[in-house]
A and B are shown apart, each in its own frame.
Chain A
Amino acid sequence: MRFADANSEPTGTPSTSRPVTRRRTMARLLGVAALLATTALGGLGIGAAPARAEDEIRIGVIYPLTGAAASTGVELKAAAELAAAIINKEIPAPAGLVAGVGMPHMKGAKIRLVFGDHQGNPQVGATEAERLITSEKVAALAGAYFSNVTATASQVAERYGVPFLNGESSSATLTQRHFKWFFRTTPHDDLFVTNFFTFLEDMEKKTGDKLRTVGLFNENTLWGNETTKLQVKLAADRKFDIAEKIVYPAKTTQMTSEVQRLKASKPAVIMQSSYLGDAILSMKTYKELGFLPKMLLANDAGFNDSEFLKTMGKDGEFVISREVWALDQADRNPLIRQVNDLMKQRSGVDFNGNSARAFTAIAVLADAIDRAGATTPDAIRKALQETDIPATGLIMPWKGVKFDADGQNELGQGLIVQVQNGQYATVWPFDVATKPVVYPMPAWDGR
């Protein structure tokens, strides 16, 4: 770079204030006019539903497809699309799978999933729910992964009287609202947290060790907050000591202060709730600061994301996590292996707890619509209430699907898995375990 000749005009520097010429103004105006015209057309376009086939059953599905949780949202979308493909018989279904027979009572009508992106924002979730109901004319809604978005989106469904089937949100309060149109297939946090403490008691009996000092380490959105409250309550009920309770701000740049505090309080067990980015960062920080509890009990989410193990490698080993699904349960239920193979063919990854639940939600919904024999909200709701799917029709390790008066599936169950040799192995309940628990957690450098 050389300096310009002192005499040459210093073009474009802010100090030169040439008057705006008419031609430039006109050019700019044309640009903006074009912009305005497109946006105006766009505005009219919103809600003008596209033409659709007569025999098509539309289901609205709301996930976080952009924003911080987009990677999970895209995975959920792939699972939901697999379910739709099976229901529509584009892919032959394994025998016995719920909704695997297509929709015989609906004269073989096809279902079409209409996706909405809630960007992790509750207001956008509500807006999308409304759009899907009123302008896309969906017969039912499914989604939305984030508990707080499920809260607002299902509220819209409740107002319009449209069934909302939630497959992945675990906040206990969602089914305590006594909604008429809300159904949830997954078990919720009450059960998961209870399982943790039962598991710890079982482990005490098995090992003879005291595991009564617990460090709570949860992120600070709705999910982490509710989990913390449940953990505090259950710890008191079951006589566990809380050595440290940390609610950390999600999406942070460093977790040194958090991990230092945990380390200083010397808990036997850590119970952690984190989404993917934080899960990875916290594990790195544990290792960096040489912190090693006897057990790390993770609350699903980030720790069970397909990418967690891919990115963590050896350092992700021996994490224990609550789960709703595990591939190794395939030995007990062949459907798991068969459907997982289909998933792997289609999108290149195995199922995980989240995507398996998204798949199941769409299948359960399609099954209900088929039994309803109609797409009116009342008929679908009635069919959902009458749902009674046996364990053998599911890819989930549940006793089945049957909703209680508040829309909660009563037959859901949780698993506890541990990362062993790069796989999630079921270690609890002991009667369905495929591997014994590796306890205590081996040292970071001894792997």
Chain B
Amino acid sequence: MTADILIQVLVSGLLIGLIYALVAVGLTLIFGVMDIVNFAHGEFLMLGMYASFWAFVLFAIDPIVALPMTALLLFAVGVIVYQTVIRRILKAPMLSQIFATFGLMILLRGLAQFFWKPDHRLIPHSLVSGNIALGPVQFGLPQFVAALGAIGVTGALWVFLHRTRLGTALEATAIDREAATLMGIDGQKMFALAWGIGAACAGLAGGLIATFFPIFPEVGANFILIAFVVVVLGGFGSITGAFLAGIIVGLIEVLGGFLVGPEYKTAIVLSLLLIVLLVRPRGLLGKA
């Protein structure tokens, strides 16, 4: 193996890793605030992709330009899902919550197939298309932009949680719900906000991925397992952890697949997860 190929593999792994991180931050945010694992997160991603697709087809708006709208739309979806379903199962045991979000996952897939047909679709020519070649290393512009977007969104989320009043309130709810309530923070609103932001992150990820990935009702299934792995590896609830873990998973997946064999790439990533959990039972940066 030459150095060129190694560099190429690392760059590809880094790019896809950043995209995994973006998909995972929303998931980990929701978990961090209210201890609920959202099985339907991949479907939020799918909705984000479809939103971009229809914006492109119906209104000729490029997915990149449509990103704010996609985020807003998915924010609304997240809040609606919270208000209609999640709010009612807050007190339910963890298992019923899994059950509800699992149902939600199937429901959103079914609705997507019902309204938009099971076809695979693609946004043929987005603003960001084509390749970049840096010496021997090549990569797609869409992937590069998506990776930049991932850094931007994760960074913005971090600033929001640590530097704004609302974000701090959200973070406080995540750390200690009782104490936050005593401090006068409205838990219900915080939860709704977490779902809105979590879904909006998935929507942004969807908008960015839609520039290079086929769009179909079951597309969430491709990403959800990896997203879970990233969340757990980073530690449930940790944004920084998810960001780091996303990069690690991307690098290991591409590098492992290249060296050992692509048929084992998922198994390699999962083995890494198990090994890390044995050493650190709460992931890399999970809360104690």
Contact = CB atoms under 8 A, between A and B. Distances in A.
Interface stretch (A94-102, A251-259, A329-337, A368-376): A251-259
A13 B226 contact: no
A280 interface: yes
B85 to A, nearest CB: 14
A1 interface: yes
Interface stretch (B148-156, B183-191, B274-282): B183-191
A256 B262 CA distance: 9
A261 B258 contact: yes
Nearest to B183: A6
Given A10-B181, A290-B131, A311-B122, A256 B13 contact: yes
B222 A252 contact: yes
Contacts of B181: 10, 13, 15
Interface string B64-75: 000000000000
Interface in B169-190: 169, 177-178, 181-189
Interface stretch (B24-32, B208-216, B231-239): B208-216
Contacts of A312: 122
Interface residues of B, number: 64
A12 B188 contact: yes
A301 B214 CA distance: 16
Contacts of B8: 260, 289
Nearest to A280: B214
Interface string A246-280: 11110111111110110010000000000011001
Interface string A129-148: 00000000000000000000
Nearest to A264: B5
A10 B186 contact: yes
B49 interface: no
Contacts of B266: 249
B81 interface: no
Contacts of A253: 16, 20, 222-223, 226
A289 B16 CA distance: 14
A379 interface: no
B242 interface: no
A247 B264 CA distance: 9
A284 B188 CA distance: 44
B116 to A, nearest CB: 11
Interface in B199-258: 212-214, 216-219, 221-223, 226, 253-258
Interface in A352-382: none
Contacts of A4: 184-186, 189
A33 B9 CA distance: 57
Given A74-B117, A253-B222, A307-B119, A264 B1 contact: yes
Contacts of A281: 213-214
Contact of B113 (A6, A17, A66, A261): A66
Interface string B7-48: 011001100100010000000000000100000000000000
B138 A289 contact: yes
A221 to B, nearest CB: 12
A73 to B, nearest CB: 8
Interface in B118-175: 118-122, 124-125, 131, 133, 138-140, 143, 166, 169
Contacts of B178: 15
Contacts, number: 154
A330 B186 CA distance: 70
B193 interface: yes
Nearest to A10: B181
A12 B185 CA distance: 13
Contact of A258 (B113, B122, B169, B257): B257
A32 B90 CA distance: 19
B213 to A, nearest CB: 7
Contacts of A264: 1, 5
B262 A14 contact: no
A288 B139 contact: yes
A276 B215 CA distance: 11
A13 B183 CA distance: 14
Nearest to B5: A264
Nearest to A257: B257
B87 interface: yes
Nearest to A64: B118
Interface in B100-122: 110, 113, 117-122
A287 to B, nearest CB: 7
B151 to A, nearest CB: 18
Interface in A1-49: 1, 3-6, 10-15, 17
Contacts of B221: 68, 251
A234 interface: no
B119 A258 contact: no
Contact of B133 (A6, A73, A252, A290): A290
A71 B139 CA distance: 30
Nearest to B35: A14
Given A249-B266, A253-B223, A311-B121, A13 B177 contact: yes
B91 A17 contact: yes
A264 B1 CA distance: 8
A220 interface: yes
B174 to A, nearest CB: 13
A3 B113 CA distance: 40
A109 interface: no
Nearest to B20: A253
A305 B256 CA distance: 32
B122 A249 contact: no
B9 A256 contact: yes
A68 B218 CA distance: 6
Given A3-B186, A70-B217, A254-B16, A248 B262 contact: yes
Nearest to B178: A15
Given A71-B119, A280-B120, A258 B214 contact: no
Interface of A: 1, 3-6, 10-15, 17, 66-68, 70-71, 73-74, 220, 246-249, 251-258, 260-261, 264, 276-277, 280-281, 284, 287-290, 305, 307, 311-313
27 contacts: A1-B189, A1-B193, A4-B186, A10-B181, A11-B188, A13-B181, A15-B187, A68-B221, A70-B113, A70-B118, A71-B117, A247-B262, A249-B263, A249-B265, A251-B221, A251-B222, A254-B253, A255-B262, A260-B5, A261-B262, A277-B120, A277-B219, A287-B131, A287-B140, A289-B138, A290-B138, A311-B214
Given A71-B216, A257-B255, A261-B258, 9 more contacts: A4-B189, A6-B183, A13-B177, A73-B118, A74-B118, A251-B221, A277-B120, A289-B139, A311-B124
